[in-house]
Structures are given as C-alpha cells and as structure tokens.
C-alpha cells in the first residue's frame, strides 16, 4: 500500500513540477520576444535616422 502511495505522490510532484516549468518557460519566452521586438524597433529607428542624415548631408 505504501509503495502505491509513494508512487502516487511522486507522480503528483512530477506533474506539479512539469506544470511550473511550463509556465516559467512560457513566461520567459514571452518576455524574450517582447525584449527582442523593442530592440528591433530601436535598431530600425537608428538605421532610418542614419539613412535620413546621410541623405540630407551632401
């Protein structure tokens, strides 16, 4: 009886761990995507500014 109970507790702990890891990974991916999007728009703005400055200088 205690063997089945121990297996059940292990299964429950593993399921809990997997769900927590899935949530943490999903949150990390979303955060990373948001940061990369911000950085992409920043670099796009810098690139457009440099091109505009180069067009008006000569």
Task: For residues 23-48, give the mean pLDDT.
Answer: 96
Nearest Cα to Cα of residue 43 among 51, 54, 55: 51
Whole-number Å distance between alpha carbons of 58 and 54: 7
Does the pLDDT at position 58 exceed 80? no
Does the pLDDT at position 3 exceed 80? no
pLDDT at 15: 93
Whole-number Å distance between alpha carbons of 47 and 39: 12
pLDDT tens column, 13-33 = 999 999 999 999 999 999 999
The model's confidence at residue 57, banded by pLDDT at 50, 70 and 90, is: confident
pLDDT at 2: 66
Please state the φ and ψ torsions of residue 17, each to the nearest 5 degrees.
Answer: -60, -45
Whole-number Å distance between alpha carbons of 16 and 12: 6
């Amino acid at each position: 009886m205690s063997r089945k109970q121990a297996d059940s507790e292990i299964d429950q702990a593993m399921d809990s761990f997997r769900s927590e890891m899935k949530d943490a990974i999903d949150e990390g991916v979303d955060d990373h995507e948001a940061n990369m999007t911000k950085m992409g728009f920043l670099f796009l703005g810098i690139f457009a500014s440099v091109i505009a400055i180069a067009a008006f200088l000569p």
